[in-house]
Amino acid sequence: MFADPVVIARDLLRCPSVTPAEGGALAFLEKTLKAAGFTVHRMRFSEPGADDVENLYARIGSAKPNLVFAGHTDVVPPGDEKTWKHPPFSAEIANGELYGRGAVDMKGGIACAIAAVLDYLAQNGGKPRGSLSFLITGDEEGIAVNGTPKLLKWTAERGEKFDHCILGEPSNQQALGDTIKVGRRGSLNGHLIVTGKQGHVAYPQRADNPIRGLVTLIAVLQAEPLDQGSAQFAPSHLEFTSVDVGNKTVNLIPGAARARFNIRFNDKHTLDSLKKLIEQRAAKAAGGKIRFAFEWEPSNAGVFVTKPGPFTELVANAVMEVTGRKPELSTTGGTSDARFITAYCPVVEFGLVGQTMHAVDERVPVADLHALTTIYRKIIDRYFA
Ligand SMILES: [Zn+2]
């Protein structure tokens, strides 16, 4: 290899880029990519009530197709640094493993993509046959307001087009090569509020207890499945997470009762269709006798799904040839920035093994960094072949 992913990963891990701090990580990428001939843009996005966040877009080549590597250089806080075997921003190597916050989620993945791209360019006269790009945000672990959504909008306004994207999140469960993510469920949080009439427990005929109505509606919403699953996804799931009345008085029928829930939903729904479905089911069960309302929390967590085809096959084959494992095309787990990218081009997630992400002693086997770089390198070769 022309460039060593371990050296790049260590440089990145030494940047204390806890969201929303840039920590020197994007400056390092800018310098590295510029030296390789990339045009690099750094942009800082703001929004009232949210932290300013730095982002980066880099591209080399102007021809189609444009293959994009996406990722984030921000990391979650390390917690109590004294509980780490090796300091979280020192990037020490012990027993063949590189330690540091972000080792797998996901500075390690970015380092492998950079190393693979630099190697490809070095062996191909410094120019790709199409275009190679990097979309890197500093706002993935935060609220993702000043990160990838705005970065994508910014590139679209400049007329940038993406053909396929690889997001280097730690997609693997146990071993490198076991999982490619081709989708993620959406997530929606809601509150159900039932209003009654407050009164004395000894005179229930003068009151209207909202807890009865709330219990009825909770039962109905839990009972009926939201769907039977889809070709690529398990059934959607609604889970109540809290039931709140807050009544400290023993002889008082409360005036209102609320419950909170979260729905993880598949590609049979959109955020809007799902809200409508839940409201309709509640209205039917209420039969005009229960006074209820829903409050929906703002969500930007829609579904992401990429259908199996030549691109997923190309990635899966590269993974198989390097690791000897046949990767599962999975749609499980929480949300990721792929939910934004999917509106612009097909995207798959493949990176390191996720076992230690967000944990104390986050680390990656040095061998995995070399193997992932070889996988990315193969993908680039085949993509432009
Ligand atoms: Zn991540």
DSSP 232-264: SSPPPEEEEEEEE-----TTEE-SEEEEEEEEE
145 pLDDT above the threshold of 90: no
Q: Tell me the pLDDT band of 273, cut-offs 50, 70 and 90.
A: very high
The predicted model gives 243-258 an average pLDDT of 96
The predicted model gives 222-247 an average pLDDT of 96
Q: How far is the CA of 140 from the centre of ligand 1 (A)?
A: 7
Q: Tell me the pLDDT band of 139, cut-offs 50, 70 and 90.
A: confident
pLDDT in tens, 326-370: 999 999 988 899 999 999 999 999 999 999 999 999 999 999 999
Which amino acid is present at 72? H
pLDDT in tens, 251-268: 999 999 999 999 999 999
Compute, in degrees rounded to 10, the torsion defined by CA atoms 217, 218, 220, 225: 140
Q: How far is the CA of 240 from the centre of ligand 1 (A)?
A: 27
- Candidates 195, 185, 186, 213; CA nearest to 295 is 195
DSSP 8-state symbol, 83: G
The predicted model gives 101-123 an average pLDDT of 98
Q: How far is the CA of 106 from the centre of ligand 1 (A)?
A: 5
Catalytic: 140?
yes
Which chain residues have CB less than 5 Å from ligand 1, an ion?
Answer: 105-106, 169
pTM of the model: 0.90
177 pLDDT above the threshold of 90: yes
Rounded Cα gap, residues 326 and 372, in angstroms:
15
1 pLDDT above the threshold of 70: no
Q: How far is the CA of 251 from the centre of ligand 1 (A)?
A: 50
- Whole-number percent of the chain with pLDDT over 70: 100
Q: Tell me the pLDDT band of 239, cut-offs 50, 70 and 90.
A: very high
Q: Where are the alpha helices (DSSP H) in the chain?
A: 5-13, 25-35, 107-123, 148-157, 210-223, 271-286, 310-323, 338-341, 366-383
The predicted model gives 233-238 an average pLDDT of 96
From the list 54, 140, 160, 368, the catalytic residue is 140
Q: How far is the CA of 352 from the centre of ligand 1 (A)?
A: 11
From the list 74, 119, 349, 368, the catalytic residue is 74
The predicted model gives 290-311 an average pLDDT of 94
37 pLDDT above the threshold of 70: yes
- Note the pLDDT of residue 2: 75
Q: How far is the CA of 9 from the centre of ligand 1 (A)?
A: 15
pLDDT in tens, 54-96: 999 999 999 999 999 999 999 999 999 999 999 999 999 999 9
- Nearest 5°: the CA angle 364, 34, 15 is 40
